[in-house]
Structure 1
Amino acid sequence: MLEITGLSVNYGTIRAVRGISLTVARGELVSLLGANGAGKSSTIKCIAGALKAAGGSIVLEGQDITAANPEQVIRAGLATVPETRDVFPDLTVAENLMLGAYIHRRDQAGNRQNLERLHTLFPRLAERSNQPAGTLSGGEQQMLVIARALMARPRVLLLDEPSLGLAPAIVERIFEMIETLKKSGLTILLVEQNVNQALAVADRAYVMRLGAIVASGTAEEIRSGSDLSAHYLGG
């Protein structure tokens, strides 16, 4: 469903991503693992259209989106939850959510139906619907940005470090939601430093180090690999 081939990303003369290839099949959850600076977030930003590829291709359901801008990527069926948890703090939770439905703004009935589904998945957001987003806790803001991305009705969801900076109990809840989304049939590419959590929900995983993919396999194969810690610790 999502096929990345020979993807490279540069920041000036620095090669952040070095010709990586990966695939995510329909309905699959694939984790992209690695330490800080491995190139994971640069990969996600490039797939999402926020960074230009220096080489390679990104194909979504047979459509080449390598040169697409962020709006074109969303319209193609791929939504991203960035690691920065960007909410519009002065807008209400409901207003933030409706911004995610921008590409479907003429389908008000469909948006209401989708919103009801997301309120079931994220009941805390329903309770705080009229509350300014800036007053939410970190965990609630993470729920909001995930739900806002889902308002675009994507076929593929990119999640960039959803557990970053959250308390362990909130991380557990976020990953329960990710598991629920996976069971619904949504295709997910998950970037995460929390290896145990990421592998617990993943079908397959790739490990990045210094801009390159250094290991890949099923979640169990990656979990049991003796060199996983070396990829993280630089050994």
Structure 2
Amino acid sequence: MLDVTDLSVSYGTIRAVRGISFTVGKGELVSLLGANGAGKSSTIKCIAGALKAAGGSIALEGKDITAANPEQVIRAGLATVPETRDVFPDLTVAENLMLGAYIHRRDQAGNRQNLEKLHTLFPRLAERSGQAAGTLSGGEQQMLVIARALMARPSVLLLDEPSLGLAPAIVERIFEMIATLKQSGLTILLVEQNVNQALSVADRAYVMRLGAIVASGTADEIRSGSDLSAHYLGG
């Protein structure tokens, strides 16, 4: 579904991502792991069209999206949940969700059907449908931005640090939802610093350090790797 080949990302003279390559197959959940500053979020932003690639290519279902802008990427079938957890605070939960369906705005019946599915997955959002998004808790806002991305009906979902800043009990709930999305057949690329949580739901994983991929394998292989701590902690 997603093929990243020799991808490089730069900020001026600083090379944040150094020629990495990885794949995400249909229905897979692949985790991109690494400490803060490893280049994970730069990779995600580039795939999402928010940053220009300094080299390499990105293909979604065989279609080159390397130079696509964010709207084109969404229309191609890839939606991103950013680590910043941005909601439109003065709009209601329902209004935030419908903004996610903008590219399908002419298909009102399809949007209603999709919304019903998401209310089943996120019952808390259904309960707070008329509430201003800015008054939600951090965990509820994370649910909202995930659900809003799913309103675009993506074939691939990119999740950037979904556990960031959340209490452990809320993190558990978020990852239960991610596991449910995986079971539904959705293809997911998960960027996460929480190694144990990420590997608990992942089929495969790649470990990044200083802008490069330094390890890859199944979740079990990465979990049992004796050098994971060294790669992850920079030792």
Q: TM-score range by the shorter chain?
A: over 0.9
Looking at structure 2, the residues matched to 205 and 62 of structure 1 have their Cα atoms a distance apart, in angstroms, of: 21
Aligned-pair RMSD on alpha carbons?
Answer: 0.3
- What is the CA deviation profile of residues 146-197 of structure 1, one whole-angstrom value per residue up to 9, with x for unaligned ones? 0000000000000000000000000000000000000000000000000000
Structure 1 residue 4: Cα displacement: 0.2
The alpha-carbon deviation at position 143 of structure 1 amounts to 0.1
Shift of 1:97: 0.1
SS of residue matched to 2:85: coil
Give the corresponding residue for 1:3: 3
| Cα distance in 1, alignment partners of residues 73 and 5 from structure 2 | 17
Give the Cα separation in 2 of the matches to 1:232 and 1:31. Answer: 14
Mapped to 2, the partners of 1:233 and 1:69 lie a distance apart of 34
1:37-56 equivalences in 2 (<5 Å): 37-56=37-56
CA–CA separation in structure 2 for the residues paired with 1:22 and 1:159: 16
Runs of 4+ off more than 3 Å? none
1:180-220 deviations in Å (ceiling 9; x for gaps)? 00000000000000000000000000000000000000000
Q: TM-score, normalised by structure 2?
A: 1.00
Q: How far off is 1:223 after superposition?
A: 0.2
What is the CA-CA distance between 1:18 and the residue it aligns to? 0.2
Distance 2:231 2:134 in 1: 37
- Can you give the 5+ residue segments of structure 1 that lack an aligned partner in the other structure? none
TM-score by length of 1: 1.00
Task: Name the CA distance, whole Å, in 1 between partners of 2:233 and 2:106.
Answer: 50
Secondary structure of the structure 1 residue equivalent to 2:124: helix
CA deviation profile, 1:36-93 (whole Å, cap 9, x unmatched)? 0000000000000000000000000010000000000000000000000000000000
| Counterpart-to-counterpart distance in 2, 1:99 and 1:214 | 38
Q: Deviations over 1:120-165 (max 9, x none)?
A: 0000000000000000000000000000000000000000000000
Cα distance in 2 for partners of 1:27, 1:232 equals 27
Cα separation, 2, equivalents of 1:67 and 1:171: 34
How far off its partner does 1:233 sit? 1.5
Q: Aligned partners of 1:144 and 1:234: how far apart in 2?
A: 34
Distance 1:114 1:25 in 2: 24
Aligned to 2:153: 153
Identical aligned pairs, as a percentage? 93
CA–CA separation in structure 1 for the residues paired with 2:46 and 2:58: 9
Unmatched runs of 5 consecutive residues or more in structure 2: none
Q: Distance in 2 between matches of 1:6 and 1:133?
A: 39
Shift of 1:232: 1.7
**CA apart distance, 1:234:** 1.1
**CA–CA distance in 2 between the matches of 1:97 and 1:107?**
15
CA distance in 1, matches of 2:225, 2:133: 42
C-alpha distance in structure 1 between counterparts of 2:129 and 2:40, whole Å: 33
Structure 1 CA distance, aligned partners of 2:97 and 2:44?
A: 22
Alpha-carbon distance in 2 for matches of 1:223, 1:233: 15
